[in-house]
Chains A and B, each alone.
Chain A
Amino acid sequence: MSAGSNPHEAWGTRIGLILAMAGNAVGLGNFLRFPVQAAGNGGGSFMITYFIALLLLGIPLMWIEWGIGRHGGRYRKGHLPGMFAALWRHPAAKYLGVIGMVIPLVVMIYYTYIESWTLAFTVFSLTGDYWGRGTQAEMVAYLHSFQGIGGPAARVHAAWTPYAFFFVTLALNIWIISKGISGGVEKLARIGMPVLFVLAAVLAGVVVMLPAGPDGSTAWTGLNFIYAPDLSRLGEPRVWLASAGQIFFTLSVGMGSLQAYASYLSAKDDIALNGLATAATNETAEVVLGGSIAIPAAVVFFGVSGAMAVAQSGSFNLGFATMPVVFQQLPAGQLLGALWFGLLFFAGVTSSVAMLTPILAFFREEFGFRREPVAIAAGVVTLVFGLMHIAWLEHGFLDEWDYWAGTFGLVVLALIETVIFVWIFRPEQAWRSIHEGADIRIPAVFKFVMTVVTPAYLIVILTWWGWQDAWPILRMERVAVDSEFYVLLSRGIIVAFAVAFVVLVRIAWRRNGYDDRRGLVATTGREEVEEGL
């Protein structure tokens, strides 16, 4: 496979590329968030709206992002400011792309912190650290103590413990990223993805074979809990929004990282089939494996009502409190606990390494820095702001970033990139671009979907979320008085990141003499040619 955005960077093999893309997509959301969302939003009804969102949002956005990325790669741009400028000859294009720099950086920082919990709990499982805390309440207290919630009196571990695991997790991420695309990210995916699928299959097999619980519930009762259709709920906007949100979260669309990965492709590489394979692999991990572990296990031990209560109390309580309670009641529970948290860790790390890719691409391509120093600098930034998350988790610092960058921001960026790629670049150009080197012909109906249905769907989601969630959150209606300072600080940091990237983009454009109105200079391999859009 030839290099797009950098002559020295390329994917080694097609399978490696797809595993890395799928690794980017498969994350904590597949195993923790999906079953909770499905069970809490009408089971089978949720699945109907979920597959509609997959068809009308997920897969079209996957093709759009692969298309934007590969097109940007022709201009040696692995970052969205450059990719947007390559598609739209307007000074505003590069600044809109800044959203695609802020989101992956912000998400990377708090996601790595959550990822470090999974590493910590892998170790805690192997050492039997939480053994003896056999109830949900005791495990929630244990989780909170690790997270530093509840004050020093309730602390089980030394205060430095979460900091140490965060540091190790971050160092591992930075080490992998510093090894490059084929030497780091692709190697990780080729090892991590098969391991992840094997671990998930083993755990799903164990859960399905569990004997009936105290109230006679089995794993099949749990699957029934997820899939039993409540068709009356199809009329609720909440169910449609929940499924659309899950599709965004699980496929990692609207983030900027899929585009960065795709920039390392050439014009003769397929993106239509590869994009579809990536989405399908992620869906297998989510629907088949993700739905068959946590909720069915919780139902066996706590019954449907108990599992429902756990699910409503949050995805983290299900994964980090309920599952450890379950493992303590099973033979080889310590090993199974390590498998579960190891699975989450692999799922997390294959996603987080993708998030810094556009940031590294920006500094390498626009300022000529080497990969290693940029990776280390990005690691230092992640460390500094990650420490704030550890210190101020209980004040909603992480929730604020998760909402504005990891939820609302994804939809905003998805809408902007769809408008630029499909409407401004023109539907015919976009369609032709996606089909360059394609192994399959995408059904023509998707041209209409990408042009009309996907943007309309995104506008509806944004409007609804804006009215229902974003405005009350912005007004801090649900924030405790003693947390208001931390929430404002967290928002201020996101704004500061955006301002910093706007300034850096401006400097880069001046430094490299880019003319927004004339368009960027495309490259073919190492040979540069002037090319119109």
Chain B
Amino acid sequence: MSGSAIAFMAVSWMLVLGLTAWSFRRILRSPRR
């Protein structure tokens, strides 16, 4: 893989995985609401 492709893939994955992890961490604090 080229360096730029790795960079695009890394940023894309970090963005969606980070957002998913962050939102579920917040949700699990108050799972009933």
Contacts and interface: CB of A to CB of B under 8 A. Distances in A.
Interface in B1-33: 1-2, 4-6, 8-9, 12-13, 15-17, 19-20, 23-24, 26-27, 29-33
B30 A439 contact: yes
A270 B8 contact: no
Contacts of A279: 19
A220 B6 CA distance: 10
A269 B2 contact: no
A429 interface: no
Interface stretch (A11-19, A161-169, A413-421, A521-529): A11-19
A498 interface: no
Interface in A181-239: 220-221, 223-224, 226-229
A508 interface: no
A287 B13 contact: yes
Contact of A284 (B2, B17, B32): B17
A43 interface: yes
A43 B8 contact: yes
A274 B4 contact: no
Contacts of A140: none
A92 interface: no
Given A47-B12, A280-B23, A284-B17, A228 B32 contact: no
Contacts of A268: 33
Interface string A27-65: 000000000000000011001000100000000000000
B5 A14 contact: no
Contacts of A439: 26-27, 29-30, 33
B27 A277 contact: yes
Nearest to A45: B8
Nearest to B20: A280
Given A44-B4, A280-B19, A440 B26 contact: yes
Main secondary structure of the interface of B (DSSP, over half): helix
A223 B31 CA distance: 36
B5 to A, nearest CB: 4
A176 B10 CA distance: 38
A274 B2 contact: no
B19 A276 contact: yes
Contacts of B24: 277
Main SS of the interface on chain A? helix
Contacts, number: 83
B9 A223 contact: yes
A483 interface: no
Interface string A108-141: 0000000000000000000000000000000000
A269 B30 CA distance: 11
Contact of A18 (B8, B19, B27, B30): B27
A47 B5 CA distance: 11
Contacts of A270: 33
A8 to B, nearest CB: 20
A288 interface: yes
Nearest to B1: A224
A277 B1 contact: no
A32 to B, nearest CB: 18
Contacts of A229: 4-5, 8
Contacts of A226: 9
A277 B30 contact: no
Contacts of B16: 280, 283-284, 286-288
A89 B23 CA distance: 36
A273 B1 contact: no
A273 B29 CA distance: 12
A287 B12 CA distance: 7
Given A51-B12, A277-B24, A228 B5 contact: yes
Contacts of A51: 12, 15
A407 B16 CA distance: 24
Contacts of B26: 273, 439-440
Contacts of B15: 51
A43 B5 contact: yes
A150 interface: no
Contacts of A492: none
14 contacts: A1-B33, A13-B32, A14-B32, A15-B27, A47-B12, A51-B15, A221-B1, A228-B5, A229-B4, A229-B8, A276-B19, A277-B23, A280-B19, A437-B33
Interface of A: 1, 13-15, 18, 43-44, 47, 51, 220-221, 223-224, 226-229, 268-270, 273-274, 276-277, 279-281, 283-284, 286-288, 437, 439-440
5 closest residue pairs by CB, A with B: A277-B23, A44-B8, A280-B20, A283-B16, A280-B19
